[in-house]
Amino acid sequence: MKQILMVEDDKRLGPTVKRGLEELGFAVHLARDASGMWATLAADPPPDLFILDLGLPDADGLDLLPALRDRGFQQPILLLTARDGLKDLVLGLDSGADDYLSKPFSFAELAARIRALARRMGPPGLLLRIGELDIDLATRRVLLEGEIVDVSPREFDFLVYLGRRAGQVVSRELLAKEVWNAPNRFTPLDNVIDVHVSRLRRKITTRSGWCPLRVIRGSGIQLGDAL
């Protein structure tokens, strides 16, 4: 079942579209504003598709588009907006949207556009992108600025686990359990994790000095900017 995150503040339109799409077999989570969208993305697995209103109460959708792409969300994004000028259409598509629908619209047209975007989707979750860092799950390759980075199998699994939670701070205890299969947290493994972080930071720092992997003192490890 395709998962859709819809970001729409209209109290009538949002629930109406949500119900209609659910009747077509989609699972839809509705957020009322940008803050709700980021909270959902931090708490739940990434959706397969976004429906994004440009006129949100706490943010402009045109600013959210590049922010989503920069944080590694490469899923299709369909814009819903009351703006119908050519300039806004061009800005939306240039900012990372895949399709654009002006209000008012018919539900039949919205559903058709979503089905078209769904058909164009590849297998979900095969590429994790965090800024200039690409983690290709299909080929088990890591690329930085388009160049292959030599990583060990454990380092790859470490990056994948963090990449699927991009922007979240993950505790060492959880990393030990999920990546190293440790039954309980124990101090020697903290050193192993720190060694992996140090080694990976050297490997995935760009020529300009940017590195997405960081240690948050007292909390854990983070890949990518906070949501």
111 and 132 together in one domain: no
**Helix (H) or strand (E) run with residue 194 in it:** helix 187-203
132 and 103 together in one domain: no
54 and 142 together in one domain: no
Of the three residues 120, 147, 174, the one that is the final residue of a domain is 120
Per-residue pLDDT of the chain (227 residues; tens, 9 = 90+): 689 999 999 999 999 999 999 999 999 999 999 999 999 988 877 888 999 998 899 998 888 988 888 777 878 899 988 876 667 777 777 777 888 888 889 999 999 999 888 876 655 557 888 989 999 887 888 999 989 999 988 899 999 999 988 889 999 888 888 888 766 555 556 778 888 999 999 999 999 999 999 999 989 999 998 76
pTM: 0.61
- Residue 153's pLDDT is 84
162 and 86 together in one domain: no
**Helix (H) or strand (E) run with residue 104 in it:** none
146 and 205 together in one domain: yes
Of the three residues 91, 120, 149, the one that is the final residue of a domain is 120
Of the three residues 101, 120, 139, the one that is the final residue of a domain is 120
- We report the CATH number of the domain holding residue 138 as 1.10.10.10
Amino acid occupying residue 119: R
- Residue 125's pLDDT is 58
Compute the chain's Rg from CA coordinates: 19
104 and 19 together in one domain: yes
Task: Find the domain containing 156 and state its range.
Answer: 127-223
The answer to whether the beta carbons of residues 151 and 143 sit under 8 Å apart is: no
97 and 115 together in one domain: yes
14 and 85 together in one domain: yes
Taking the CB of residue 123, how many other CB atoms lie within 10 A of it?
8
Q: Where are the beta strands (DSSP E) in 141-219?
A: 141-144, 147-149, 169-170, 213-216
- The residues, any chain, with a CB within 8 Å of residue 164's CB and separated by 6 or more, are 45, 46, 125, 128
Taking the CB of residue 47, how many other CB atoms lie within 10 A of it?
22
- Residue 15's pLDDT is 96
214 and 158 together in one domain: yes
Q: What are phi and psi of 215, to 5 degrees?
A: -100, 125
Tell me whether strands 99-102 and 77-81 are parallel, antiparallel or unpaired: parallel
- Residue 1's pLDDT is 66
Q: In 24-105, which ranges are continuous DSSP H helix?
A: 34-43, 61-70, 86-94
- We report the CATH number of the domain holding residue 19 as 3.40.50.2300
Domain count, the chain: 2
- Residue 143's pLDDT is 94
Helix axes of 13-23 and 107-120: crossing angle, nearest 10 degrees = 60
Handedness of CA 182, 224, 69, 134 (dihedral sign): negative
146 and 53 together in one domain: no
**Helix (H) or strand (E) run with residue 79 in it:** strand 77-81
Residue 75's alpha-carbon distances to 1, 3, 153, 185, in angstroms, are 15, 11, 26, 35
67 and 154 together in one domain: no
- Residue 170's pLDDT is 92
218 and 167 together in one domain: yes
